[in-house]
Chain A
Amino acid sequence: MERPIRVLVAKPGLDGHDRGAKVIARALRDAGMEVIYTGLQQTPQMIVEAALQEDVDCIGLSILSGAHMTLLPKITTMLRENDGADILVVAGGIISDEDAAILRNDHGIAGIFGPGSSTHAIIDFIREHVERSSVEG
């Protein structure tokens, strides 16, 4: 029996726009995933704690505030420190190509989706990249 992919959708930082995050959450649900939605203004600590408690396969971060170069690396660092390095992290929002390259290459953000990305592309990316490792051990 294949268990559904579990995804945490969270909004780090202080901007108050969560329409994008909700659209993504809904699209992932319709693709058969279990989406844990935590709402606005999450600190990196809150996001990492929720991801570990919920044993998610993937974290989807929506960030529009411009603080992505501070907040996103903090999240992946905390994940590594807490035995959560196997969790796939993707981000969406207003992120320049230069920043995206740095986040991808140096900070473990596997996928970055700018405005206009199709939900299909995001769903396919998650399906392709989550580690469906055995949970034993």
Chain B
Amino acid sequence: MELVAKARAGNRRALARLITLVEAGDAQAQTALAALYPYTGHAHIVGVTGAPGTGKSTLVTQMALHWRSLGRTVAVLAVDPTSPFSGGAILGDRIRMQALGGDSGCYIRSMASRGSLGGLSRATGDAVKALDAAGFDIVIVETVGAGQAEVEIAREAHTVVVVEVPGMGDDIQAIKAGILEIADVFVVNKADREGVERTVRQLQMMLHLGSGEHRDGWEPPIVQTVSNTGKNIAEAAAAVERHLAHLKSNNLLELRERERIEREWKVIMRETLLRQLLQRLEPHVHEQLLKQMSERQLDPYAAANQAIESVLEFPQSATPSGQS
């Protein structure tokens, strides 16, 4: 595909169109992804997540500037929420990323979540592939301002940075499952504010409450930054790079990639199967099953089995028995 060749040659308009294409998720998108997939797998994918107002966009900008100063090319994907009512969105992350303008080694793209939960858009992974194939050394994905359960980014990124600020939450928040568990690097931003020691102490406590064994043998470092002034940005960036080096030196990168690819493949199969199944389901069967469920004559599990059996000709024993 010509767009892919152009994007790889550094044509930014072609890259921009390619992302629009994969974001649309239609048949054209599949052609584009097939063409660019062989060139993927080289970028370091860094996720940045945290509650709204913790300074993610400013931190991303500062880290990107730092990496640019070392001669590495950087792409930023910034995801903001889509309105559940109108389907529209206001994407405002660029406001805080102006320092990255006018640099051909840097590319910023805003994405609306388009109805996905989990802090990313359905097409984020595909947009990352386009940026990876275009040859960027580092692809930073900034999630929707996340709460406690927006952990999708852990499945897409090699290294996840969780941004906290002083004075949010108590120590019970810090031991709940969810966003804090996915961190490879903690950044306590706005560290010139009161209460920073307490926040750092709570994070340390959380890290040491467990069995003493950290996932992948990596203890997430805690870096205190002030994004507005650039304080400790180099340290935060260095921690991100150390994490990648750790993954590489222990063959964990390969393993993570394999898991990610398998998960992605299964999601695609699930979506494709569901679409095909719904296409083949007779409208009157569809209607009848819905009616029976509404009238509580049939439970959704049984209705699912009936729908599948009415469409597919496979023996009972071949219906899925376990969740992937």
The answer to whether A36 and B94 have CB atoms under 8 Å apart is yes
4 closest A-B pairs by beta carbon, nearest first, are: A29-B88, A55-B16, A39-B95, A32-B87
Q: CB-CB < 8 A to A54: which residues of B?
A: 16, 109-110
From residue 76 to 107 of chain A, which have CB atoms closer than 8 A to chain B? Answer: 82-84
Contact of A136 with B28 at beta-carbon distance under 8 Å, contacts A36-B91, A37-B92 already known: yes
Q: Return chain B residues, CB-CB under 8 Å to A34.
A: 82, 88-89, 91, 112
Contact B86 A83 (CB under 8 A): no
Q: Which B1-56 residues have C-beta < 8 A from chain A? A: 2-3, 12-13, 16-17, 19-21, 23-26, 28
A residues near B13, Cβ cutoff 8 Å? 52, 55, 82-84
B86/A30 in contact, CB under 8 A: yes
Let me know if B250 is at the binding interface, CB within 8 A.
no
Stretch at the interface among A42-50, A61-69, A110-118: A42-50
Q: Taking A31-B86, A31-B88, A136-B28 as contacts, is the C-beta distance between A49 and B95 under 8 angstroms?
A: no
Please tell me if A120 contacts chain B, counting CB pairs below 8 Å: no
Report how far A76 CA is from B94 CA in the complex, Å: 21
Q: Specify which of A30, A36, A49, A84 lies most central, judged by the most chain B CB atoms within 10 Å of its CB.
A: A36
User: Which one of B19, B20, B90 contacts A26 once the chains associate, using CB atoms below 8 Å?
Assistant: B90
From A26, which residue of chain B is reached at the shortest CB distance?
B90
Which B positions have Cβ atoms within 8 angstroms of A?
2-3, 12-13, 16-17, 19-21, 23-26, 28, 82-83, 85-92, 94-95, 98, 101-102, 107-110, 112, 114
Please give, as numbers and ranges, the residues of chain A lying within 8 Å of B91 by CB-CB distance.
34-37
Cα distance A30–B89 in the bound complex, in angstroms: 8
Asked if A136 meets B88 with Cβ closer than 8 Å, knowing A1-B26, A55-B19, the reply is no
What's the least CB distance linking B18 to chain A, in Å? 8
A39 CA to B97 CA, complexed, in Å: 11
Query: Which listed residue (A1, A32, A135) contacts B88, Cβ 8 A?
Result: A32
Give which listed residue, A6, A32, A53, A136, contacts B3 with CB less than 8 A. A136
State which of B2, B21, B90, B114 has its C-beta within 8 Å of the C-beta of A29: B90
Within 8 Å of chain B (Cβ to Cβ): is A33? yes
**B83 lies within 8 A of A30 (CB):** yes
What separation, in Å, do the CA atoms of A132 and B76 have in the docked complex? 26
Q: Assuming A50-B108, A52-B16, A136-B3, what are 20 further A-B pairs, CB within 8 angstroms?
A: A4-B114, A26-B90, A28-B88, A29-B89, A30-B88, A32-B88, A33-B88, A37-B90, A37-B91, A38-B98, A39-B95, A49-B101, A49-B102, A50-B94, A52-B13, A53-B16, A54-B109, A55-B17, A83-B13, A135-B28
Q: Which residues of B contact A50 (CB under 8 A)?
A: 94, 101, 108
Rounded to whole angstroms, the CA-CA distance of A55 and B82 in the bound complex is 18
Residues of A within 8 A of B114 (CB): 4
Q: Does A19 contact B (CB under 8 A)?
A: no
